[in-house]
Structure 1
Amino acid sequence: MDQKKKLSVVIEHWIEHNESHRGEYKKWAQTAGELGLDSVKVEIEEAMGKISQSNQHLMKALKTLQ
């Protein structure tokens, strides 16, 4: 496998990995909200947004490789 293909595989993995974390963050943000920890919920949701932004950049990079 050449380096370009390896890079594509790695980026795809990062995107999937980030999405799995994003799902966990969502669950814990909801839990924080249920506990009345609104500021914690907001910060977790902010982190979720950053993961989405990161994945958008990774998807652009992946598209460029293909």
Structure 2
Amino acid sequence: MNNLDKVRVLLPHWLEHNQGHSTEFLQWADKLAAESPETTALLRSAVEALQAAQHALTEALHKAGGPLAAPGHEHHHHHHSTPR
């Protein structure tokens, strides 16, 4: 498998992982809104940056030729626990 094919396998995972962090940051921003407006604003700013990265990663996947499943590899998920 050449490097471009490897990136075509990795990019969908990176996109999913990035989206998961965006969601998690927004959840924490909501929890902190009354307690720390400055922290909330920074978390929301981080989400905006991740959205820009998401756009760039999506475009990279498109330019690379779209997703490619890795032979013999099943998709896996990272689970992040969110303290309550």
Same fold (TM over 0.5): yes
2:17 aligns to what? 17
Distance apart, 1:52 and its partner CA: 0.4
Greater helix share, 1 or 2? 1
TM-score by length of 1: 0.89
Which residues of structure 2 form unaligned runs of 5+?
66-84
Query: Where does residue 39 of structure 2 map in the other structure?
Result: 40
Once the two structures are superposed, residues 43-65 of structure 1 have per-residue CA deviations (whole angstroms, 9 ceiling, x without a partner) of: 00000000000010011110001
Alpha-carbon distance in 2 for matches of 1:60, 1:24: 23
Number of aligned pairs?
65
**Greater gyration radius:** 2
The sequence identity of aligned pairs, in percent, is: 25
CA RMSD of aligned residues (A): 1.1
Task: Please report the TM-score for the alignment, with normalisation by the length of structure 2.
Answer: 0.72
Output the amino acid matched with 2:26: K
Counterpart secondary structure, 1:34 = coil
**Structure 1 residue ranges without an equivalent (≥5):** none
